[in-house]
Amino acid sequence: MLKKEFARMIEELDYDVEPVYVKNGGDNMYYDTLNSEQQISFLIKPIIEVLQEAGGQLERSEIRDRISEKDEHIAEFEQKLYTSIKTGNQYKKFDFKFNFALKELSYVGFLVYEKYKPLVTLTAKGSALDLDNFDVKTEVREKAAIYWEEKASKNKNKDKIVNVEDELEDDIKSNEDDILDDVKVKLQSAIANMTPKKFEQFSRALLTKMGVQFTDKGIKASNDGGIDGYGYHMDDDDFRTTRVVIQCKRYNTAPVSEPDINQFLGAMNKFQADYGVFITNSRFTNAARIAAREGTPITLIDGNDLIRLIIKYELFITPITTYVLDEFYNEE
């Protein structure tokens, strides 16, 4: 039953979709106009492209960041939270599609990685790919469909009617997902629900952990001049103290745009800052990233960077030790 259902699903798949890199995302969520298979197909070529550009090896988080910077449709999809109809819990649909794409690229021999390890490496076959003449459908999706069919045929409950997509999703999640994904989604949701004032306090707490010292005067400055405070950072190597100006934007849908950066640059000049830090729980448009590289240096911290820094500095979170079973326990 499962195998027949899988075969029917394969026949109905529409793989044909190519990434069209855009400079500025529109109001509509482009990824929601694609079907499930197209969402996976859309990610495959950018994944290979950024790995080739990086010399063949990146961590998963770096791949996510770089493909998001290339295409704002991907950036928007990567940030979006969905609510499960079954459980009511929030999750990132992107996580499943991204891991699914990596799994298929691994199956066809274009890249390799170890389970629960962050590093992804292009094979010689993947490094030699000519992306200008690369067809995602024939060179990846159709070949990988054989793998999924084999997985389906091995299901022990063949007489039980199951949802094939759920079956495959469970396989991906149990083997490939970053074990921190659930925590990251909860953090993203919690930050999105903060008031703007609390988000400012939270951002200052993070930068304090990172070595920035805020004074009462610096915090009060948030009421004047379009900044959310300033502080000082002492370089441990040369004892040089620099003035740091910060701006915080808690956006739940819209990205930080170029005008936001330009306004911040003006405020930085007013306060004679050595550099600035712009923090958002959302993302930055490509134009905003370009603007941040001009003039006084600005460090951009988007939603993904923010969560990584929270985990790194253990800001308002409690680490615990957990274990996962090796394949030995599942082998017959």
172 and 28 in a common domain:
yes
Predicted local confidence at residue 4, as pLDDT: 44
- The secondary structure of residue 222, as a DSSP letter, is G
Asked if 280 and 302 touch (Cβ cutoff 8 Å), the reply is yes
Predicted local confidence at residue 326, as pLDDT: 78
Alpha carbon distance 234, 282 (integer Å): 29
Domain stops at, among 178, 206, 224:
178
Predicted local confidence at residue 169, as pLDDT: 52
Alpha carbon distance 192, 282 (integer Å): 9
In a domain, 60, yes or no: yes
For 216-230, the pLDDT digits (tens) are: 766 665 555 568 888
Domain count, the chain: 2
199 and 111 in a common domain:
no
- The secondary structure of residue 116, as a DSSP letter, is T
205 and 173 in a common domain:
no
- The secondary structure of residue 184, as a DSSP letter, is H
294 and 156 in a common domain:
no
Alpha carbon distance 51, 106 (integer Å): 13
230 and 145 in a common domain:
no
Predicted local confidence at residue 220, as pLDDT: 63
9 and 101 in a common domain:
yes
Using CA atoms, how far residue 331 sits from 13, 174, 302, 326, 328, in Å, is 32, 15, 42, 10, 5
Q: Report residue 316 as tokens.
A: 């308002």
In a domain, 327, yes or no: no
Domain stops at, among 148, 178, 208:
178
In a domain, 324, yes or no: no
Predicted local confidence at residue 248, as pLDDT: 93
Q: The domain spanning residue 272 has which CATH number?
A: 3.40.1350.10
In a domain, 320, yes or no: no
Alpha carbon distance 183, 181 (integer Å): 5
Q: Give which of 233, 240, 204, 241 is closest to 221, Cα–Cα.
A: 204
In a domain, 226, yes or no: yes
pTM: 0.72
| Burial label, 132 (beta-carbon count in 10 A; 0-12, 13-18, 19+) | exposed
Asked if 126 and 141 touch (Cβ cutoff 8 Å), the reply is no
Domain of residue 25: give its range: 2-178
208 and 98 in a common domain:
no
In which residue ranges of the chain is pLDDT below 50?
Answer: 1-27, 160-164, 167, 170-177
In a domain, 319, yes or no: no
Helix (H) or strand (E) holding 213: strand 212-214
129 and 266 in a common domain:
no
For 233-286, the pLDDT digits (tens) are: 887 666 678 899 999 999 887 899 999 999 999 888 888 889 999 999 999 998
In a domain, 189, yes or no: no
| β-strands 241-249, 275-280 pairing | parallel
256 and 174 in a common domain:
no
166 and 34 in a common domain:
yes
159 and 20 in a common domain:
yes
169 and 209 in a common domain:
no
| Edge-to-edge order in the sheet of strand 212-214 | 212-214, 230-234, 241-249, 275-280, 298-301
In a domain, 27, yes or no: yes
